[in-house]
Amino acid sequence: MLNNISIILINITHPGNIGAAARAMKTMGIKHLALVQPKTFPSADATARAAGADDILANAQVFDSFEESLQDCHLILGTSARQRSLGWPTLTPKACAEKVSTSPGKVAVVFGRESIGLTNKELDLCHYLVQIPTHPTFSSLNVASAVQILAYELRNAYIASAPQTPLSERGEIAASIPARAEDVAQFYQHLEQTLIEMEFLDPKKPKRLMRRLHRLFNRIQLIDSEVRILRGILTAVQKKKIVNY
């Protein structure tokens, strides 16, 4: 879901805000940044404020017009603190993120100028208006801070929509991947050789012992760590037999 999101910044005056927005994006796993007529870019100030999110800046696309930046976008969400005389369908950041999480196409989340935000003409191209609840007497929010809030909600929605595994179980699940067929085949060869050396299996009259053992271990579906343990036991048995001789 996060890979289909583009953060679009329009006419940003201060390059430091671009860098800070890139940093906000990277902390939440959003990679695609588009800039529409930035006053100064690239910029050392942007790089400094990015604080390690240099890859976001390096891959940022720069456009001459807002319309051009929206190519291939299926859902467009414009952010603004200003009330408009003509009402737009309005979402909170959380509701915005939930809508994005169900959108299969490319999504644009748009932020306007530091001074006036988005124009009505630009907002006309948006499907929804997103407003961050702020104190009614002081609604002005730094553009990079606004990006951070939206990016946070987008990541929360992404996490909520993805199957989750407790952190304590992730290592265990990663280790429970079935062993490769090649490794299991080598274990069977090792097992058969050990059983022959122990004189438990007569290679001239094997009957169905190995087939039954194959069924047994295949039913369990051995994982890598189990194969290693079993082969370690077999090796120890072989060494013990040599010592006894």
Angstrom distance (rounded) from CA 135 to CA 157 = 25
Number of H helices, E strands in the chain: 11, 7
2-161, what's its fold?
Answer: Alpha/beta knot (3.40.1280)
Q: What is the pLDDT of residue 217?
A: 82
Q: For strand 128-130 and strand 73-79, is the pairing parallel, antiparallel, or unpaired? A: parallel
Q: What is the pLDDT of residue 110?
A: 97
As given in the structure block, the two tokens for residue 202 are 């007569």
Angstrom distance (rounded) from CA 91 to CA 154 = 13
Judge residue 8's burial from the number of C-beta atoms within 10 Å of its C-beta, 0-12 exposed, 13-18 middle, 19 or more buried.
buried
Q: What is the pLDDT of residue 166?
A: 57
Domain boundaries, the chain: 2-161, 172-244
Q: For strand 32-36 and strand 5-10, is the pairing parallel, antiparallel, or unpaired? A: parallel
Let me know: does 58 contact 35? Beta carbons within 8 Å: no
Angstrom distance (rounded) from CA 59 to CA 70 = 17
Residues found in the chain: 245
How many Cα atoms sit within 13 Å of 75 on the Cβ side? 20
Spatial CA neighbour of 142 closest among 110, 177, 106, 117: 117
Q: What is the pLDDT of residue 173?
A: 47
As given in the structure block, the two tokens for residue 13 are 């005056």
> Concatenated DSSP letters for 126-178?
-SEEE-----TT-----HHHHHHHHHHHHHHHHHHHS----HHHHHHHHHTSB
Let me know: does 146 contact 117? Beta carbons within 8 Å: no
Query: What are the per-10-residue average pLDDT scores of the chain (245 residues)?
Result: 92 97 96 97 96 95 94 89 72 94 89 91 88 88 96 94 58 59 84 91 86 79 86 89 60
Q: What is the pLDDT of residue 162?
A: 73
φ and ψ at 71, to 5 degrees?
Answer: -55, 135
172-244, what's its fold?
Answer: Helicase, Ruva Protein; domain 3 (1.10.8)
CA distances 71 to 8, 34, 65, 88, 196, Å, are 12, 11, 11, 22, 69
CA distances 198 to 206, 230, 243, Å, are 14, 16, 13
As given in the structure block, the two tokens for residue 189 are 């060869």
Which residue carries 């009259």 as its tokens? 205
